[in-house]
Structure 1
Amino acid sequence: MAVNSVTGPGSNAAQVSNTSGATLASNFETFLSLLTTQLRNQSPLDPLDTNQFTQQLVQFAGVEQQLKTNDTLSALLLSSQTAQAGAALNLVGREVTAFGQTSQLSDGKATWNLDSPKAGVTATITIRDSTGALVYTGKKDLKSGDQDFVWDGKRTDGTKAPEGLYTISVDAKDAAGNAVEVTSEVAGVVEGVDLSTGEAILLIGDIRVPLGQLKSVKALKA
């Protein structure tokens, strides 16, 4: 089980914000020093335009506020990523079901769960390999609710497809010819978690499932 450490964009944003804040503070100190010098040496008969100073002060204040907002957002993002990572790691070794179209052909079969909102639905099943090439197409009658679709790994022409990842698509219609939305799901035991992208990805064999696609979790039977 390979679990990557949490290194998301939040830490980089914090570093940039800290650097920008230091630069702003330095520029602001320089601005105040110049302002003080100009005010001390201005001519009483031709005083400096205070509107310009006021505008510059407002600009400094606006930039400072934006940097503070960025710091807050970075902290919230890091907190969210940490919580997500903890939730994902707790799923390792558990059986999960998730919304998805990609399943793994292994030992002569690949399984998807299809959820139909009604009975009497005829579905055209299309399966493609990892390159997008058409491998199998066929029809299946669906009942209402969840049901498994098990592909035996044979192409439409009857030849055997190699093991690997395959993606399903379902075009379903009822008896009246109206389109019916059928969702597909995959299931398996979580073997690891990939956190390298900043998003928790559950690893089910070679299948990669975003944590947000999770539908249900079960404890393995002893």
Structure 2
Amino acid sequence: MEVAATNLAQTADLTSGQVSDAASLSGDFETFLKMLTTQAQNQDPFNPVDATEYASQLASFSTVEQQVLTNGLLTELTRLATGSGLERLAGWIGMEALTMGAAYFDGAPVELVTQVPEDAQSAVLVIRGADGSLKNRIAVGAGDESYRWDGTDLSGATVSHGIYEVELEVYREDTLDETREVGAYLRVDEVARLDDVNILTLRGGVMREVAEVTALRNAAD
């Protein structure tokens, strides 16, 4: 609520500033026209001011006025677009988003998106607890796109329900050549906007930016 109140206050200040700027510029423009008219009425008939200079001054001032009004309109459109985006994201709540690095085990096998390179000599799924402790190391084959983890650890015992960190070790020429992130689907529990970034809170408290989501699907029954 504090973040929302801050955003509303900032929006109110911005809108107030835009209105003030527009009103000030409008008043200045009217004053300019009065001065221009007075100058034209009282100019020396033997040394008149060039009419093109009048037109140039008027055009310049008009351009500035239109620019300020345009900037205000663009700011308003951006604000509306931001709000609409968050409203659309609200439809994601309850769906499952594919993100990298974390999986949730609730007793049922977990589908892990591995995408093992075709040229890998071998590869190993490394599963760790939220505290970083090693839970399992599972060999997978070159070219494997996914793996269903049954929730067992190195001893074969079933781990407790919760979030687990998952990565893929890729070996080439008997050497660990690279480490890749592994994807998994997590239910979307909340959407929010923080510091101009749309944030998803996923099952187990995992937080990801919307840009990190690579797929979306209906939650399994």
TM-score range, shorter chain: 0.5 to 0.7
Task: Specify the alignment match of 1:97 in structure 2.
Answer: 97
Would the alpha carbon gap of residues 104 and 144 (structure 1) be closer, same or farther in structure 2, given more than 3 Å must change?
closer
Matches within 5 A, 1:48-59: 48-59=49-60
Specify which structure has the higher proportion of helix: 2
Compare 10-19 and 167-176 and name the one that shifted more. Answer: 167-176
The structure that has the greater radius of gyration is 2
Matches within 5 A, 1:191-210: 191-204=189-202, 205-210=204-209
Would the alpha carbon gap of residues 52 and 194 (structure 1) be closer, same or farther in structure 2, given more than 3 Å must change?
same
| Alpha-carbon distance in structure 2 between the residues aligned to 1:42 and 1:183 | 77
Q: Deviations over 1:41-86 (max 9, x none)?
A: 1101122244443333232222233233323422332332222222
Matches within 5 A, 1:34-45: 34-45=35-46
| Alpha-carbon distance in structure 1 between the residues aligned to 2:62 and 2:48 | 24
Please state whether the residue corresponding to 1:202 is helix, strand or coil.
strand
CA RMSD of aligned residues (A): 4.6
| Alpha-carbon distance in structure 1 between the residues aligned to 2:115 and 2:35 | 71
Q: Which amino acid aligns with 2:212?
A: Q
Q: Does 1:16 align with 2:17?
A: yes
Contact 1:101 1:169 in 2 (8 A): yes
Q: What are the ranges of 5 or more consecutive residues in structure 2 without an aligned counterpart?
A: 155-161
Matches within 5 A, 1:65-76: 65-76=66-77
Q: Deviations over 1:117-140 (max 9, x none)?
A: 53645457789999xxx977x895
Higher RCO (CA-CA < 8 Å; seq separation 6+): 1
Task: Specify the alignment match of 1:216 in structure 2.
Answer: 216
Equivalences, count: 206
Q: What are the ranges of 5 or more consecutive residues in structure 1 without an aligned counterpart?
A: 155-163
Q: Deviations over 1:89-114 (max 9, x none)?
A: 222233x233333567999xx99643
% identical equivalent positions? 20
